[in-house]
Amino acid sequence: GKRVKGTQISRPFCYGTTARPFDPVSNPKPAGVPDDHTHSWEVYVRGIDGADITYWLRRVQFKLHESIPNHVRMIEGVQGQPFVVKETGWGEFEISIKLYFAAESNEKPQTLYHHLRLHPYGKTDQEKEATGKNNEVISWCYEDLLFNEPYEAFYETLTSG
Ligand code: SLL
């Protein structure tokens, strides 16, 4: 295939974590969750306002802390749905988020990093943080991923969404 010369296409998405402390009323701890776990949380990659991104982003590998069983999670895209991993735990750590693009792209996977936040404090410049209802700790980033001179087949894919 050939590259589309002089062309750049970007696709927006966001990624981040949402955590909730266990609470008998607002977030009861499910049976089987270890005693030392204090929070439920999720990490996700998704389109803006529910937009589908699976036509160009096919798989996401989330690498969690090694203390978590099966800490490497490969999530296949399902049309219209976010890429998400839900877990419980007690500590914060850096999550690596590896993005795998449509096969025809010939693009190498790209890795992002996101700090799982359980407690509401501090933030970096790019990070949006808010404390939502029920003491949710929300931390997320916006990304506009730029594809420079995509291959023709991938150009078709990118402009089909
Ligand atoms: C810290 N450096 O000390 C971090 C490590 C690890 C968090 C945090 C375990 C969950 C599980 C868990 O929450 N690990 O056992 O499934 O804060």
Round to whole Å and give the CA distance between 131 and 60. 26
Q: Give the ipTM.
A: 0.92
Q: Residue 19: CB within 6 Å of ligand 1?
A: no
For residue 70, give the CATH number of its domain.
2.60.40.1970
With 60 as the cut, is the pLDDT of residue 4 above it? Answer: yes
With 60 as the cut, is the pLDDT of residue 89 above it? Answer: yes
Closest Cα to atom 3 of ligand 1 = 91
**In the chain, where does DSSP find H-type helix?**
152-158
**Is residue 105 assigned to a domain?**
yes
Closest Cα to atom 1 of ligand 1 = 91
Report CA(66)–ligand 1 centroid distance (Å).
Answer: 8
Round to whole Å and give the CA distance between 79 and 141. 22
Average pLDDT, the chain: 93
β-bridge pairing 8-21 and 72-76? unpaired
DSSP string, 137-148: EEEEEEEEEEEE
Report CA(19)–ligand 1 centroid distance (Å).
Answer: 14
**Is residue 76 assigned to a domain?**
yes
Q: What is the CA radius of gyration of the chain?
A: 18
Q: Residue 65: CB within 6 Å of ligand 1?
A: yes
Would you say 154 and 147 are in contact if contact means Cβ atoms under 8 Å apart?
A: yes
Would you say 11 and 53 are in contact if contact means Cβ atoms under 8 Å apart?
A: yes
Q: Please give the share of the chain, as a percent, with pLDDT higher than 90.
A: 87
Would you say 88 and 41 are in contact if contact means Cβ atoms under 8 Å apart?
A: yes
Q: Residue 90: CB within 6 Å of ligand 1?
A: yes
β-bridge pairing 128-131 and 57-63? unpaired
Identify the domain containing residue 148 by its residue range: 8-27+34-158
With 60 as the cut, is the pLDDT of residue 100 above it? Answer: yes
**Is residue 45 assigned to a domain?**
yes
Query: What are the tens digits of pLDDT across the range 42-51?
Result: 999 999 999 9
Distance of CA 45 to the CA centre of its chain: 3
If one counts the domains in the chain, the total is 1
Closest Cα to atom 13 of ligand 1 = 89
**Is residue 53 assigned to a domain?**
yes
**Is residue 3 assigned to a domain?**
no
160 SS3 class: coil
Q: What is the pTM for the complete model shown?
A: 0.92
**Is residue 116 assigned to a domain?**
yes
**Is residue 1 assigned to a domain?**
no
Q: What are phi and psi of 42, to 5 degrees?
A: -140, 150
The whole-number pLDDT of residue 131 equals 56
